[in-house]
Structure 1
Amino acid sequence: MTTTSFDPALILPDDMLARFRERAGIHDRENTFPDDDLDELREVGYLAQLVPTALGGLGLGLVEASVLQQRLATAAPATALAINMHLVWTGVAKVLADRGIATLRFVQEGAAAGEIFAFGISEAGNDLVLFGSDTDASPTAEGGYAFTGTKIFTSLAPVWTQLGLHGLDTTSPDGPKMVYAFVSRGEEAAGRVVTRDDWDTLGMRGTQSRTTELHGALAPAHRVVRRIAPGPNPDPIVFGIFSVFEVLLGSVYTGIARRALDVAVATVGARMSKKTGLSYSQDPDIRWRIADMALAYDALPPQLESLASDVDGLVNHGPRWFSLLSGVKHRAAVMAKSVVDDAILTAGGSSYAAGSELSRLYRDVLAGLFHPSDPESAHSTVATAWLGPLAP
């Protein structure tokens, strides 16, 4: 499907987004997971949007997924961010399949059948991210792995059925190896997978990205999808995770910026100046600020579309891929925070109330600076792309 024939409103109609937006404030206030949003998204096939039609999905590409995630984030950023983590795995499955690797076909089939895939990569203090892990991956006699460790920021914590994760195998003869696999939340996981009820954050509260303890969590042999050397690695699974993760993260925060801009425009049009008798939309300073917000926002959707199209189209940017992808995510997060900051200034003191939408967007947008690639990592990656590696 191409963007010229794609109408995101057919999948996410305005009335659905209005319901999501109304519920978003409740989930933020009550620190609860948006189960109703998930049910509606499942019903329209949203969770299988990146799955080929032949396998029961919508057959969309990363370009369309980016547009949909931007649109969803204008209504419920936490819902969009949580769903992102499921879409990352279905997106990785597509990236690999498009390159002739069918290892994650079970993810595509599972998503079409209603499985919820969560992303179990983040670990406290592990700035190696995809290139290393503090989680122990121990081989089993049956060819699978038992994982022991702690994963943080496990979005979709109350509802996931399959957890895609990584760990380090230091015992195999050909090791050490980074092991990518999936563990189930079925009865066999009782006591081996423990979800803490510890999600009480400043923003993105509806994601319920709780901590996950792994106590020998079992991934059978047919759910071990990749064993690769630790450290920087051009393996397709690393590229797949990085590309889909960065594009979809950038999409969520770009969607937040769009909503903040829309709210600011509506607010200044309705506010009247006692001094001039005109709406604030006629104030030159306000107009300059709105224009500045729009100039910043307008740059991101085309960048996201271009990179997503290159991923879908198997374009080979070689080593530049990582700087391009980390760069677009970084720009989206920084832009979104700046736009929300200005939206609050233009909207006035009412936006400072905890229950206001702009207040919630302000708290939600802050999370963008913490996701990989963080500002330091993004700058290091781009510096290496342009200047070469640091001297030993």
Structure 2
Amino acid sequence: MTSFDPARYLPDDLLARIRERAVVHDRENTFPRDDLDELRATGYLGILVPAELGGAGLSLADASLLQQRLAGAAPATALAVNMHLVWTGVAKVLLDRGIDDLAFVQRGAAAGEVFAFGISEAGNDLVLFGSDTEARPDGEGGYTFTGTKIFTSLSPVWNHLGVHGLDETSPDGPKMVFAFLDRSDEIVTRDDWDTLGMRGTQSRTTELRGAHAPADRVVRRLDPGPQPDPLVFGIFAVFEILLASVYTGIARRALDLAVEAATSRRSKKTGTTYANDPDIRWRIAEMALAYDALPPQLAELASDVDTLTDHGGRWFTLLSGVKYRAVAMAKAVVDDAILVGGGSAYFSRNELSRMYRDVLAGMFHPSDSESAHATAAAAWLGPVAD
């Protein structure tokens, strides 16, 4: 376990301001620009960038703890920032393995630039291994991208968008192309983010209309399908660990609010607080037992990524598994916290009510329940027999 202190980068007074603003952004369906400005000023966008490049030089395990803490104040802010940290985390994974393909991401993040994640597509359950977006070579090593990306967090503020697309013109067969785009007139962001929860992420639909990435921003050309390439591993590892961190942070905040409610609410029947009610005590104990399992798992897996531990083929079930468990745990904990909080938690002004909506988003992030179970089954049982 790391001795890193998250309060150094996310002090209590900053979190208090972020938590206060979260209510407004949820109600008004707006992006938390003030949160991003304050986080940028503290160097948060560069926490995973090496110190020699102007960042904080933190580990993925450190970032996991920070994201847990940030999610406890504002889940939507944490989830939005997550998508930037995914790319800086991938850059770190590559650099740790002697590959500096994403040095421009690290330099940009250290300077306060925002990188967004433009991979998700409607109906594309291949995710990283396939794409409905056309990647067309420009003849000079660059590509233009035409297609539609969904759930593009940070839509109002990103400077650079990491995307993938399929090049079907290559003489050596179709290639998955990963590249980074700058904002341009060929990228149209729909103002269509009106959702049940995680409203502040403003994860709008993004239309790529021949958006161009020059050769120096094309980072991979890979065969479609599962690949052992470090870029693919980095995206999957950092994405799953940091997602799990956000939902684990939500669970911790829900648990704290449940404890606060139990110790402050009094029963007319017994004259004492609900903290002495055996049913409430059992419920909070159940929440705590579920929550306590996740932080050590996240710390261990993130540390394994940091230290280049080789789990071989087990990596994908370990990573999809921790994300699945974190989301399932967080949803169950928030459900119980609502019950402990009583009828007041049903009002939209109550923080638990917002968390109840926010936590539902976890079910839609890769890896979903079906994918995680399929991955685990394949790891333990092998492929389905013909």
Give TM-score scaled by structure 1 length: 0.98
Separation in 1, partners of 2:13, 2:260: 19
Give yes or no for the alignment of 1:248 onto 2:242.
Answer: yes
1:335 corresponds to which residue? Answer: 329
1:10 corresponds to which residue? Answer: 8
1:216 is matched by which residue type in structure 2?
G
Q: Which residue, 271, 288, 294 being the options, matches 2:288?
A: 294
1:321 corresponds to which residue? Answer: 315
1:161 corresponds to which residue? Answer: 159
1:28 corresponds to which residue? Answer: 26
Displacement, 1:3? 2.1
**What are the superposed Cα offsets for residues 103-152 of structure 1, whole Å, 9 maximum, x if unpaired?**
00100011011210000000000000001000000000221000000000
Q: Which residue, 199, 204, 223 being the options, matches 2:198?
A: 204
Displacement, 1:203? 0.1
Separation in 2, partners of 1:371, 1:74: 19
Question: How many equivalent residue pairs?
Answer: 386
Displacement, 1:7? 1.1
Q: How does 1:128-143 map to 2 (within 5 A)?
A: 128-143=126-141
**Percent of aligned pairs sharing the same letter:** 76
Separation in 1, partners of 2:173, 2:79: 35
Give the aligned CA root-mean-square deviation in angstroms.
0.7
Structure 1 stretches of 5 or more lacking a match? none
Separation in 2, partners of 1:47, 1:280: 42
1:47 is matched by which residue type in structure 2?
L
Separation in 2, partners of 1:228, 1:54: 31
1:237 corresponds to which residue? Answer: 231
Separation in 2, partners of 1:142, 1:110: 24
Separation in 2, partners of 1:3, 1:64: 8
1:273 corresponds to which residue? Answer: 267
1:83 corresponds to which residue? Answer: 81
Q: Which residue, 99, 103, 106 being the options, matches 1:108?
A: 106
Separation in 1, partners of 2:8, 2:228: 37
**What are the superposed Cα offsets for residues 2-46 of structure 1, whole Å, 9 maximum, x if unpaired?**
822x21101101111111111001100000000000011001110
Q: Which residue, 26, 43, 48 being the options, matches 1:45?
A: 43
Displacement, 1:86? 0.2
Separation in 1, partners of 2:226, 2:141: 26
**CA contact under 8 A between 2:43 and 2:112: conserved in structure 1?**
no
Q: Which residue, 346, 351, 354 being the options, matches 1:360?
A: 354
**CA contact under 8 A between 2:143 and 2:215: conserved in structure 1?**
yes
Separation in 2, partners of 1:271, 1:174: 68
Structure 2 stretches of 5 or more lacking a match? none
**What are the superposed Cα offsets for residues 75-123 of structure 1, whole Å, 9 maximum, x if unpaired?**
0000000000000000000001111111001000110112100000000
Displacement, 1:175? 2.5
Partner SS state of residue 146, structure 2: strand
Displacement, 1:300? 0.1
Partner SS state of residue 3, structure 1: coil
Give TM-score scaled by structure 2 length: 0.99
- After TM superposition, the runs of 4+ consecutive aligned structure 1 residues lying more than 3 A away are none
1:3 is matched by which residue type in structure 2?
T
**CA contact under 8 A between 2:79 and 2:243: conserved in structure 1?**
yes
Partner SS state of residue 170, structure 2: coil
Displacement, 1:172? 1.1
2:92 corresponds to which residue? Answer: 94
Displacement, 1:348? 0.2
2:117 corresponds to which residue? Answer: 119
